[in-house]
Amino acid sequence: MVTFPPPVTTAAAVDLSVQVGSLRLRNPVIAASGTFGYGIEFSHLVDLNLLGAMVVKGLSREPMEGAPAPRIVETPSGMLNAIGLQNVGVKAFVAEKLPALRKYAVPVLANVFGNTLEDYVEVIRTLEDAEGLAGYELNISCPNVKCGGLQFGSDPAMVSQVVGAARKAAAKRPLWVKLSPLVTDIGLIARAAAEAGADALTVANTYPAMALDFRTGKSRLGNPTGGLSGPAIKPITLKLVWEVREAVEIPVIGLGGVERVEDVLDYLCVGASAVQVGTASFADPAATRRLIDGLDEAVSGAKSFTIKDIVANFSGEIG
């Protein structure tokens, strides 16, 4: 048994570092893709060098304008978004955004997406030639236009194909694969990704959902549907992280509704090596920094536990 919150003494700098495959992170708090811009936008609010790592906005082969407004609405304990994967395109990212990021010591991962295998491969090829990235995160929650629009991430055979192709293209750097939560058996999908060469798995993306105004009969977003994120999804995603942890040996990164230090510890407890923080950065742009400080205090102030104890304490038994 560990006690939380711990009796707080003085906040001393403690070792919060974690290992995610070949990457050593100074702490387990990572800014999530699409919620932290290209990183630079947040540099006046958060010292980027303090973060465990940072995953930039999803990058496609060509620039994308994204979905019509409104793109974000608040829902009970959460948020619904339909951004439509707006981004500057991989070439402009390399030419215009990456040079500024190179000034920081924080590991930067590029989130990559596409609608065909060739799209994914092409984006990674362009990034392979650029300096200043620590790795890639493959977003496989996208429709495969050559397969009737079925999501890459929903079928083990397609997961194998897309991760295998990306693995070949990503010769230089670690490859994380970000899973879709919209699957029947996430363990099956996780194994397919691991066997095809993923170095770590991010669990998970947003949950397809709707918000409408019954008076007008219209969606509250510019699109009919969007992706649900925030505290509302944390218990569901926590279970998915646990299931993936049981299914594969490679590191798992928990992502969904992390808002408080307790959320970070819960994910670590079920076996995540690190967490990502998404929606929380909208309510509080310095949320990542706050969580790192909170973790530091929790661990340095606790006589009764360390992060290792918390992870070791999880029994996985019900009740």
Ligand X SMILES: Cc1cc2nc3c(=O)[nH]c(=O)nc-3n(C[C@H](O)[C@H](O)[C@H](O)COP(=O)(O)O)c2cc1C
Q: Taking the complex as a whole, how short is the minimal distance between the CB of residue 198 and ligand X, in angstroms?
A: 14
233 near ligand X, rule: CB under 6 A: yes
Give me the residue whose beta carbon is nearest to ligand X. 34
Q: Taking the complex as a whole, how short is the minimal distance between the CB of residue 228 and ligand X, in angstroms?
A: 8
Annotated catalytic residue within 16, 56, 142, 272: 142
Contacting ligand X (CB under 6 A), which of 254, 271, 278, 294? 278
Contacting ligand X (CB under 6 A), which of 27, 60, 81, 126? 81
For ligand X, which is the closer residue by CB, 179 or 307?
179
Q: Taking the complex as a whole, how short is the minimal distance between the CB of residue 113 and ligand X, in angstroms?
A: 7
Q: CA–CA distance from 30 to each of 121, 129, 161, 292, 297 (Å)?
A: 25, 24, 27, 10, 18
What's 54's DSSP letter? Answer: E
Question: What does the alpha-carbon distance between residue 198 and residue 210 come to, in Å, rounded to a whole number?
Answer: 32
For ligand X, which is the closer residue by CB, 94 or 233?
233
**Contact region for ligand X (CB under 6 A) — 78-86, 125-133, 183-191, 308-316?**
78-86
Q: CA–CA distance from 40 to each of 36, 114, 130 (Å)?
A: 9, 24, 18
Question: What does the alpha-carbon distance between residue 92 and residue 98 come to, in Å, rounded to a whole number?
Answer: 9
- What is the total count of residues that contact ligand X (CB under 6 A)? 25
For ligand X, which is the closer residue by CB, 110 or 247?
110
Question: What does the alpha-carbon distance between residue 257 and residue 236 come to, in Å, rounded to a whole number?
Answer: 10
Question: What does the alpha-carbon distance between residue 154 and residue 304 come to, in Å, rounded to a whole number?
Answer: 42
Q: Helices 186-195 and 234-247, interaxial angle, to 10°?
A: 50
For ligand X, which is the closer residue by CB, 34 or 135?
34
> Angle at Cα 95 formed by Cα 94 and Cα 96, nearest 5°?
100
Question: What does the alpha-carbon distance between residue 45 and residue 43 come to, in Å, rounded to a whole number?
Answer: 5
Residues 16-45 that bind ligand X (CB under 6 A): 32-35
**Contact region for ligand X (CB under 6 A) — 5-13, 77-85, 155-163, 309-317?**
77-85
255 near ligand X, rule: CB under 6 A: yes
For ligand X, which is the closer residue by CB, 173 or 302?
173
Question: What does the alpha-carbon distance between residue 92 and residue 42 come to, in Å, rounded to a whole number?
Answer: 19
275 near ligand X, rule: CB under 6 A: no
288 near ligand X, rule: CB under 6 A: no
147 is catalytic: no
Residues 85-114 that bind ligand X (CB under 6 A): 85, 111
> Three-state DSSP class for 145?
helix
User: Taking the alpha carbons of 165, 186, 209, 230 in that order, is the dihedral positive or negative?
Assistant: negative
Question: What does the alpha-carbon distance between residue 261 and residue 142 come to, in Å, rounded to a whole number?
Answer: 31
139 near ligand X, rule: CB under 6 A: yes
* CB-CB contact of 276 with 233 (8 Å): no
Up-side HSE of residue 85: CA atoms within 13 Å toward CB?
A: 21
Contacting ligand X (CB under 6 A), which of 42, 48, 57, 203? 57
Map residues 213-232 to x or -, x wherever contact with ligand X holds by CB under 6 A.
Answer: ----------------xx--
Question: What does the alpha-carbon distance between residue 38 and residue 93 come to, in Å, rounded to a whole number?
Answer: 9
Binding site for ligand X (CB under 6 A): 32-35, 57-58, 79, 81, 83, 85, 111, 139, 178, 205-206, 229-230, 233, 255-258, 277-279
Residues catalogued as catalytic: 142
